[in-house]
Amino acid sequence: MTSPKVAPHLLVGVGGGIAAYKICDVISTQVKAGWSVSAILSETAAHFVTPLTLSTLCRRSVLTDADFWHPQAPRPLHIELAETATLLLIAPLTANTLAKLAYGLADTLLTSTVLASNMPILVAPAMNTRMWEQPTVQAHWQQLQQQPRYHCLPPTHGRLACDSVGMGRMAETSEIIAYLDSLAHTHGQRDLSGKHLLITAGGTREYLDAVRFIGNPATGKMGLALARAAVHRGARVTLVHGILSEPVPPQVTAIAAETSEQLQAAVMQVWPTADWLVMAAAVGDVRPATQYAGKLPKAQLPTALPLATIPDILTMAAQGRQPHQRLIGFAAQTGDIEPAARAKLAHKGLDLMVANAVDQPGCGFGTQENAALVLGSDGRSHRLARMPKLILAHHIFDLAQAWLT
């Protein structure tokens, strides 16, 4: 897979619900990123967000069912949309539209376009908790997930517009945007389907006492991007994480591990059931040789700090690996990154090493973008220029799929 050279044409179907206002941020973000965006506004959605608002953001007229039945169109509108759009987002997805999609009904412009197209469809439901929990709604949701072209972002838990607290909030717009970016890269393919990926992220803290520790500036952004990309490609993901600067993506099983010892224990527990281990966490190399209970008074702080070496988790995982398991390591380096990365690749018994230069502007810890040198155990190498970390994650998985399977 490669990223598309032509900007995607996104068609947004806006359902009738208070969450409709959130779709404005999605449209605005993708238009600014160079995407072409069209929108279909349902009759009920127009009560929550106006056609003028969406047409201004899309830079083109918003479509409604009135346009669907217009007699002067040169071609059937739903056919035209199905042939020109490359991605379809339906958000908020209402219980009514969910039922129509599950049963293949086509009585509106939106549902007719769905049936006339083969494009990937991302859906993000939003509704009252009792509505969401109805057995019929859940059955329709399960039906939709069985169809490969549908990519489903489940609602989240929180306070709803009706003041109740529970499941039903539409997924955050940042998650919707990230999923759209993934679909633009993968074209909806789920090439990691059936695989269980164990991914680590974030930095560890090695405590001297209750409040002081040895740490690093890792924020977990790269590991989170890898987890997000893997889920979008169909994988089952377990994320063992240290300190993170962002929430864990939906549909990811998360295990928190603040210290290297905790992270090691979690990894070794999950690893026997995983297919790939992607070690993106910035695990400490050393810890204080002595850990003190409580907070040491400043006057009692040691003037010299004896250190103990932390065992290498990847090396431990490699020693007990099964034939089908694959190991991918990450190396944060400065200067000439290749020699040290190649040495680590061989010494740790890895299949793939991803090296990045943390001393380069705009790359490394805490940044939104990254660049990398990917090295294979068979001697192959590939340089990835600076790009958003989510897209970099997809390129890494592209190479892993090509080189390791």
Q: Provide the token pair at 244.
A: 């993170």
312 has binding-site annotation: yes
- Give me the domains of the chain, ranges plus CATH numbers: 9-186 (3.40.50.1950), 196-404 (3.40.50.10300)
3, pLDDT greater than 70: no
Is 190 a residue whose pLDDT tops 70? yes
Mean pLDDT of 239-266: 96
* Element housing 316 (H / E): helix 313-319
State residue 4's pLDDT score: 45
Q: What is the pLDDT of residue 117?
A: 96
Find the mean pLDDT for residues 213-224. 95
How large a percentage of the chain has pLDDT more than 90? Answer: 88
**Share of residues in the chain with pLDDT > 70 (%):** 98
Residue carrying structure tokens 């967000």: 49
Q: Is 237 helix (H, G, I), strand (E, B) or coil?
A: strand
* 187 DSSP 8-state letter: T
Please give the pLDDT value at position 72: 63
Q: pLDDT: is 161 or 350 the higher one?
A: 350
Mean pLDDT of 185-193: 97
Is 288 within any annotated ligand binding site? no
- Residue 336 annotated as part of some ligand binding site: no
Q: Is 330 annotated as a binding residue?
A: yes
In this predicted model, what pLDDT tens digit does every residue of 101-140 receive, in sequence order? Answer: 999 999 999 999 999 999 999 999 999 999 999 999 999 9
What does the mean pLDDT of the chain come to?
94
Question: Residue 376's Cα: distance from chain center in Å?
Answer: 24
The answer, yes or no, to whether residue 403 has pLDDT greater than 90, is yes
Please say whether the beta carbons of 88 and 26 come within 8 A: no
Residue ranges with strand state E in 29-183: 36-41, 87-93, 121-125, 150-152, 156-159, 165-169
User: Strand 253-256 and strand 213-214: pairing?
Assistant: unpaired
Instruction: Please determine, for residue 305, whether its predicted confidence score (pLDDT) is greater than 90.
Output: yes
Catalytic residue check, 363: no
* pLDDT above 70: residue 149: yes
Annotated binding residue at 313? Answer: yes
Cα separation, 14 vs 46, in Å, equals 9
Query: Of the listed 24, 58, 152, 162, which one is catalytic?
Result: 162
Residue 1 has pLDDT above 70, yes or no: no
Whether the pLDDT of residue 215 is over 60: the answer is yes
Alpha helices, H only, 146-219: 173-186
48 is in an annotated binding site: no
Q: What pLDDT, on a 0 to 100 scale, did the predictor assign at position 5?
A: 60
The CA distance from 405 to 194, in Å, is 13
Which phi-psi region, left, alpha or beta, contains residue 304 (left: φ > 0; alpha: ψ -120 to 50)? beta
The CA distance from 274 to 252, in Å, is 14
CA triplet 21, 23, 27: central angle to 5 degrees? 130
pLDDT at 151 over 80: yes
Distance CA 62, CA 64 (A): 7
In the predicted model, what is the mean pLDDT of residues 67-86?
85
Under a CB-based contact definition with an 8 Å cutoff, are residues 235 and 274 in contact?
no
Q: In the structure encoding, which two tokens stand for residue 256, read together? A: 């928190």
Paired strand residues for 7: none
Q: How far apart are CA 390 and CA 223, in angstroms?
A: 9
What's residue 73's pLDDT? 64
